[in-house]
Amino acid sequence: MTTMEIPLLGAPSSGSKWDRIDWEPIEKHVMRLQMRIAKATRERRWGKVKSLQWLLTHSFYAKLLAVKRVVSNRGRKTAGVDGKLWTTSKQKFDAVRSIKRQGYRPQPLKCIYIPKKNGKKRPLGIPTMGDRAMQALYLLALEPVTETTADKNSYGFRPCRSPADAIGQCFQALCLKHSAQWIFEGDIKSCFDQISHSWLTANIPTDKTVLSKWLAAGYMEKGSFYLTDAGTPQGGIISPALANMALDGLEGAVKQVVSRGHKVNVVRYADDFIITGVSKELLEDTVMPAVVAFLKTRGLELSKEKTSITHIRDGFDFLGFNVRKYADGKLLIKPSRQSVKAHLASIREFLKSHKTAPTEVVIRKLNLKIRGWAYYHRHVVAKKIFSYVDHHIFWALWSWARRRHPGKPAYWIKRRYFRSNGWRDWMFSTSTYDKMGNVSHLDLFSAASVKIIRHVKIRATATPFDPAYKDYFELRALRNRGNSLVRMDDWWL
C-alpha cells in the first residue's frame, strides 16, 4: 500500500496531506485485526496470535497510527539522543516508511531524572522518535493480548480504564457492614527498573527479537553509555504494557492461597495495589508470602517503606484518595490530605515563580491546574474540600496581588483584580480583548463549581477488543459525554 491510497478528507491537494488524513477507516482496519488477535488469544491459539501480530506490525495503516501516536502525545516535542523531531508532513510520512523490522537497531535512551513526592528522583528513559514509533506499532499488536489475559481488577495504563474505576472497586469491596476490615497496602520497589529481562523475553507474547533489542538498548547519561540488565524504561510507550503483563496473575496467585470466605479482593493500578482481608493475621501470614513469592519470580520485591497493613477505621490513601469507614459504619472516600497539600503547594510555588507575569497568563495556567485536580476528584465526597481549596487559593492570590502593589490600599487591589458576577463575589479576573477589540472577562476557575458525579465502574471483564462489549462501550461513551437520554441502568448492568 502506498501513500496514494491513504484516505483523505476533502479533495486531494499538494498541501499538508498528513493533516487531512481520514483516520476513521484506518482505525477500523487496525481494530479488526486487533479483534482477531484477541479472539485467537481467548481460544488459546497462540500460533494464530503470532501470525496475526506479524500481519498487523507489517500493516501500513498500523504504521500510520503508530506515527500518529508519537507526533500527537505530550512528548512529541522531546527528542531522544539523536535530537530529531517529526514536525512536518514529509517527516511524518518518511517516518511511516522507515518503520521496518529488518535491520532495526534501537538507539540508547536519553536518561533524565524527575522528582518524586518523597523528595527523591526517579529515572526517565526517553527513546528516539523512531524507537517510540516502533514501540507504538508493536503495542498495537500486543494490547489485544494484554487486555484479554489481564487481571480483572487491574486498572492502570489500560484502555477505557481509569483511577476512578479502581476507586470504585475499592468502594464495592469495602462499603458493606460485613465487608473486609483489613487492608494490605502494597507498593513494588522500583518496579519498572527491576523487572527481570529473562522473564519478559520468556513470557511476553510479542516478537522476541525486537523485544530483546529494546531491553538491551542501554541509556546515555551525561555523555556516557550504560548497559541495562534489568527493567523496562518508564519513558517507553510499550513499557506500561510490559509492566502490566509482568504483574498480571497477582490476583490469581493471592486467591489461590485463601478461601472465598476470607473476603480477599485485589485492586491494582500499575504497581500500586491493595488487598482486602478479614484479619490482619491472614494478610500477614498467608497473603503477604504469596505476594512476595509471585514478585520474586519476576525479579521484583515489595517496598518496605510503602507497604503496610491498615484497619478500615484508620483509613488508607490510594491514588490520591483517602478511603475510610467511620464510626457509623459508613464508608467515605475523599481527596487525601497529601493530595490537597500537594495541589495547594503547587499553586503557591507557581505564584511565587510568576510574581510579575501578566494576570491573563496566571489565570490560564491556574485554571488548567485547578480544573484538572477538581475533575480528577469529582467522583468522591469532595464538595467541602473543593471549597476549602478555593479559600486557600483566594488568599494565595490576594498575597500575590499585594506583593505586586505594596503601596496600594485593599479596595484598589480588589477593583483591579477581582469582580462580582451574580451570587459570586471576589472572583479573580482580568479583561481580555479579541481581534475586533471586543472585551470579555477571563475568570479564575472555581473548584467548588465542579459537580460531584458518581462514577459507574467499568465491568471487570469488559475489553474494547471483544465484540460482545461493543454496545456497552458505545453507551459508556455516550454517558461520559453527558447524554441525558442514556439511562444509568442501561450501562450499569
**Residue 40, exposed/middle/buried by CB under 10 A (0-12, 13-18, 19+)?**
buried
Residue 166 has pLDDT above 60, yes or no: yes
Please provide the DSSP assignment of 340-356 as one string: HHHHHHHHHHHHHHTTT
Query: Which of helix, strand or coil describes residue 486?
Result: coil
Mean pLDDT (whole number) for 295-317: 94
Nearest-CA neighbor of 243 among 305, 186, 193? 193
Longest dimension (CA), the chain: 77
Instruction: Report the alpha-carbon distance of residue 249 to residue 74 in Å, rounded.
Output: 31
Predicted pLDDT of residue 439: 79
Alpha carbon 430 to chain centroid distance?
33
Helical spans, DSSP H, in 354-382: 359-376
pLDDT band of residue 24 (cuts 50, 70, 90) is very high
Compute the average pLDDT of residues 304-312: 92
Distance in angstroms (rounded) separating the CA atoms of residues 220 and 197 = 19
For residue 407, give every residue at least 6 positions away whose Cβ sits within 8 Å of its Cβ, in sequence order, or none: none
Which residues, including other chains, have CB under 8 Å from residue 16's CB and lie 6 or more apart? Answer: 89
Flag whether pLDDT at 60 surpasses 80: yes
State the pLDDT at residue 482. 64
Q: How confident is the model at residue 22 (pLDDT cuts 50, 70, 90)?
A: very high
Structural element, H or E, at residue 124? strand 121-126
pLDDT of residue 484: 44
pLDDT (0 to 100) of residue 75? 86
Alpha carbons 493 and 488: distance in angstroms, whole number: 9
pLDDT band at 10 (very low <50, low <70, confident <90, very high): low
182 with 280: CB under 8 angstroms?
Answer: yes
Region 23-46: mean pLDDT is 97
Q: Is the pLDDT of residue 236 over 90?
A: no
- Least confident segment among 76-85, 222-231, 270-279: 222-231
Worst-scoring range by mean pLDDT, 152-166, 181-195, 226-240, 376-390? 226-240
Strands 109-115 and 182-187: unpaired
The rounded mean pLDDT for the chain is 91
| 1 has a pLDDT exceeding 60 | no
Kindly state the percentage of the chain with pLDDT values over 90.
78
**Which of 273-277, 322-326, 479-483 has the lowest average pLDDT?**
479-483
Answer whether 288's CB lies under 8 Å from 305's CB: no
Query: What digits encode the pLDDT tens for the residues 446-455?
Result: 999 999 999 9
What span, in angstroms and rounded, lies between the C-alpha atoms of 350 and 465? 42
Judged on CB neighbours under 10 Å (0-12, 13-18, 19+), 345 is exposed
The confidence score (pLDDT) of residue 15 equals 46
Give me the sign of the Cα torsion angle 259, 269, 204, 61: positive
**C-alpha span between 445 and 378 (Å, rounded):** 15
The residue that leads in pLDDT, 119 or 206, is: 206
Would the pLDDT of 131 be above 90?
yes
Which pLDDT score is estimated for 14? 43
- Under the banding of pLDDT at 50, 70 and 90, the label for residue 486 is very low
